[in-house]
């Protein structure tokens, strides 16, 4: 009986459970491995750290941008370039600005320009960017000249002649060429003392007249006048009532130089000049109180100060 009981006890100890309690296997099977974390997605090749890949054959797109330099003052100017895409239109305060295929342009600011002007570039893809340009005030001086004793302006003959002169001058500046003289570092067209500055309020005696529209350089009659930048001669002639012997040079993109009161003209219309080429000689023709060169700059209907270009070149 004792043997039977002992056998029964041993059988109970080796059974999978005892009184409903799980019994740990003396040689357990190893647990199944834990599932591994999913591998991070492999980034596409970008050619640089952290930037996404571009589709095959696609070049990176540059951001639209306006680069602008120059003299942002009343009577000043600016040179610039619009980048980041094909340029469709450039506007300055709503007026169209001529520009090159590369988006390069020249602009000028009125003598009485407001504190801020708006430059806008419209691209062929339909986007546009605006750049406000802050314009510094200039305290223009007064210029006093002897009173006018002869009143020829009122006569019908003078009015008719002057209308013809103005028509020729206007026509000479009507075309917009692709000359790149506007990109040159301008030099003074004559050597001498500055006798009249741009923008000065002129008085003939006590009578106020329009502000001075250029830079006067006092020099002896016959002194050389040369091209301040490259361009093409679009007008060369004499007998103008106020200007006397006159040459106008096209520098491209709507920028023109005018040389007044010459004693001699050494170029003809159609001539293409390099910077420094001879134009003529200083004189006192037209309405002038003495021998000097009047150098005027005109862009897109705006007269501005030649001295600002000379300051930029020095």
- Residue 77, CA distances (Å) to 69, 216, 298 in order: 9, 19, 11
Estimate to the nearest angstrom the gap between the alpha carbon of 76 and the chain centroid.
Answer: 12
How confident is the model at residue 113, as a pLDDT?
A: 98
Query: Exposure of 310 by Cβ count < 10 A (0-12 exposed, 13-18 middle, 19+ buried)?
Result: middle
Per-residue pLDDT band for 312 (boundaries 50, 70, 90) equals low
Rounded Cα gap, residues 226 and 188, in angstroms:
8
Please, what are the domains in the chain? Answer: 65-134 (2.60.40), 142-313 (2.70.70.10)
Contacts of residue 299, Cβ cutoff 8 Å, sequence gap at least 6:
77, 106, 107, 108, 254, 255, 256
pLDDT digits (tens, 9 = 90+) for 178-217: 899 999 999 999 999 999 999 998 888 888 888 999 999 9
For residues 215-223, average pLDDT: 98
**pTM for the model:** 0.78
Rounded Cα gap, residues 279 and 232, in angstroms:
11
């Amino acid at each position: 009986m004792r043997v039977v009981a002992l056998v029964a006890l041993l059988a109970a100890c080796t059974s999978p459970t005892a009184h409903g309690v799980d019994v740990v296997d003396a040689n357990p099977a190893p647990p199944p491995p834990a599932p591994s974390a999913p591998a991070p997605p492999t980034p596409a090749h970008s050619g640089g750290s952290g930037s996404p890949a571009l589709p095959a054959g696609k070049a990176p797109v540059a951001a639209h941008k306006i680069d602008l330099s120059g003299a942002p003052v009343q009577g000043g100017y600016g040179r610039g370039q619009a980048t980041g895409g094909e340029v469709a239109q450039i506007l300055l305060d709503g007026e169209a600005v001529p520009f090159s295929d590369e988006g390069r342009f020249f602009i000028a600011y009125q003598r009485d320009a407001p504190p801020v002007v708006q430059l806008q570039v419209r691209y062929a893809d339909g986007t546009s960017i605006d750049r406000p340009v802050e314009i510094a005030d200039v305290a223009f001086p007064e210029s006093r000249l002897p009173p006018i004793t002869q009143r020829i302006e009122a006569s019908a003959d003078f009015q008719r002649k002057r209308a013809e002169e103005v028509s020729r001058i206007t026509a000479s500046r009507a075309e917009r060429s692709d000359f790149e003289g506007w990109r040159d570092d301008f030099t003074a067209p004559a050597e001498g003392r500055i006798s009249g500055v741009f923008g000065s309020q002129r008085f003939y005696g006590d009578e106020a007249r329009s502000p001075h529209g250029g830079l006067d350089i006092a020099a002896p009659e016959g002194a050389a006048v040369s091209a301040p930048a490259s361009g093409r001669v679009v007008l060369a002639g004499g007998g103008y009532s106020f200007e006397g012997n006159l040459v106008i040079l096209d520098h491209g993109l709507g920028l023109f130089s005018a040389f007044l009161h010459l004693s001699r003209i050494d170029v003809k219309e159609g001539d293409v000049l390099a910077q420094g080429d001879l134009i003529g000689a200083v004189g006192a023709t037209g309405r002038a109180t003495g021998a000097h060169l009047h150098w005027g700059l005109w862009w897109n209907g705006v007269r501005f100060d030649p001295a600002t270009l000379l300051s930029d070149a020095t």
